[in-house]
Amino acid sequence: VFKASGLTVLPSILLLGPSGSGKTALLTLFERGTNAATHTSQSPIAVECSLPVGTTAASDKYRSTYDPTNQTHKKFLLIDTPGHGKLRHHALQNITNPKNLKGIIFLVDAATMSAGNGGLRQTADYLHDVLLVLQKRMTGGKAMKALKEVSVLIAANKMDLFTALPAALVKKSLESEITKVRASRSKGLLDSGIGMGEDVDDDKDDWLGETGSSEFKFSQMEEFDITVEVAGGNVTGGDGPGVDKWWKWVSERL
């Protein structure tokens, strides 16, 4: 069967995360296999990438080694988005109108994740909003409703820097910071009078994760068929684990 990749909608992976976390750097590395200088992004871009040699896509796992489809590398579309607060609507548009979306990589700068660092709050704020959009996808458009399961990889980047928190601590820090974001958002709603006298269910809809829980945990997203994993890596710099875990995560979703 003749199948030009341009005629089919390639499986796509969406890159989200705050400004400076390394999204465009990762896109460059995944696309070209080498690093290059980046500038802060102003609009989303999509590039075609291929799984590297030796990585098998989940959908090809049971094919025979002699199957000719194994000779061509599995292709996918990687969508980079601007992390700046004022440009994030582009990013959210990409989640609310997904075309063959297979997963979301939320990149964080692990060197800005220590308590009291403004980077932690900013990152938690953005991640909270992304997860809430996904949680509320049943109230979104048709394409959103079609997203039965969603996989999110929190890629703790810049592990080459000695100031970077290990992945397990990045996870903990984000969970406790999202707990604070969630509390202040719900207080904000009460203070502004939004939801007063309306259906109580409306309020519940804006609460991320398990209703009534005092602490937010990523595992609370499972109830909404959202899987969240955290894995460390680094796009640039000689020392560090590199991007192997992230490649593996991508391959498991194609």
Residue 158, token pair as written in the block = 């810049």
> Would you say 155 and 246 are in contact if contact means Cβ atoms under 8 Å apart?
yes
Question: Nearer Cβ to ligand GTP, position 57 or 250?
Answer: 250
Q: Is 143 in the site for ligand GTP (CB under 6 A)?
A: no
Show the site string, 50-79: x = touches ligand GTP by CB under 6 A, - = not.
Answer: ------------------------------
Question: Nearer Cβ to ligand GTP, position 21 or 173?
Answer: 21
| Contact with ligand GTP (CB under 6 A) among 5, 40, 100, 184 | 40
Question: Nearer Cβ to ligand GTP, position 17 or 98?
Answer: 17
| Nearest distance in Å: CB 236, ligand GTP | 4
| Contact with ligand GTP (CB under 6 A) among 10, 12, 13, 22 | 22
C-alpha closest to that of 176 among 107, 121, 246:
121
Show the site string, 157-186: x = touches ligand GTP by CB under 6 A, - = not.
Answer: xx-xx-------------------------
Q: Is 112 in the site for ligand GTP (CB under 6 A)?
A: no
Give every CB contact of residue 227 below 8 A, 6+ residues apart in sequence.
149, 150, 151, 152, 221
Q: Is 24 in the site for ligand GTP (CB under 6 A)?
A: yes
Amino acid sitting at position 233: G
- What is the rounded CA–CA span in Å between residue 239 and residue 4? 39
Question: Nearer Cβ to ligand GTP, position 84 or 245?
Answer: 84
Q: Is 47 in the site for ligand GTP (CB under 6 A)?
A: no
Q: Is 122 in the site for ligand GTP (CB under 6 A)?
A: no
| Contact with ligand GTP (CB under 6 A) among 83, 98, 103, 209 | 83
Show the site string, 24-63: x = touches Mg ion by CB under 5 A, - = not.
Answer: x----------------x----------------------
Question: With contacts defined by CB under 5 A, how many residues of the chain interact with Mg ion?
Answer: 3
Give every CB contact of residue 242 below 8 A, 6+ residues apart in sequence.
233, 234
For residue 175, the tally of other CB atoms under 10 A from its CB is 19
Amino acid sitting at position 177: E
CA 130 to chain centre: 8
Residue 17, sorted as left (phi over 0), alpha (psi -120 to 50) or beta, turns out to be: left
DSSP secondary structure letters along 91-146: HHHHHHS-SSEEEEEEEEEGGG-STT-HHHHHHHHHHHHHHHHHHTGGGS-HHHHH
Query: Which residues would be at the binding site for Mg ion (CB under 5 A)?
Result: 23-24, 41
Query: Which residues would be at the binding site for ligand GTP (CB under 6 A)?
Result: 17, 19-25, 38, 40-41, 82-84, 157-158, 160-161, 234-237
